[in-house]
Amino acid sequence: MRLRSGILELTVCLVVIALSVVGAVSAFVTDLQRDIDGLLLILVCALMGGLFSITLLLLAKNHGWLPHLSQSRLRKPVAVEARFTGLLAKSRAAKAEHEM
């Protein structure tokens, strides 16, 4: 777990997510959601929060901060590749027998 390598990116993501939550809450508190400006503010806050949440998740996965996601993703392609190569070998053998 290398926390120091991605601390700047982590900070930026968390700040933008926090600001978008504050912006959306302020639109509801000030009763601005009934106006087009409030609707656009809520949509922009949701967009920015969503994008930076995905970025934060990918950053955490790439740096190994979420080991259960990293390991499960690595195991599946190996198993699929092993099955595929086994099926490919069997089909080639069957094709060779069929051609004789």
Percent pLDDT > 70 in the chain is: 76
Q: What is the pTM of this model?
A: 0.62
Per-residue pLDDT band at 1 (split at 50, 70, 90): very low
**Cα distance between residue 35 and residue 19, in whole Å:** 21
Examine the pLDDT at 75 and tell me if it is beyond 50.
Answer: yes
Examine the pLDDT at 52 and tell me if it is beyond 90.
Answer: yes
**Cα distance between residue 91 and residue 99, in whole Å:** 12
Beta carbons of 27 and 45 less than 8 angstroms apart: yes
User: Which amino acid is present at 73?
Assistant: R
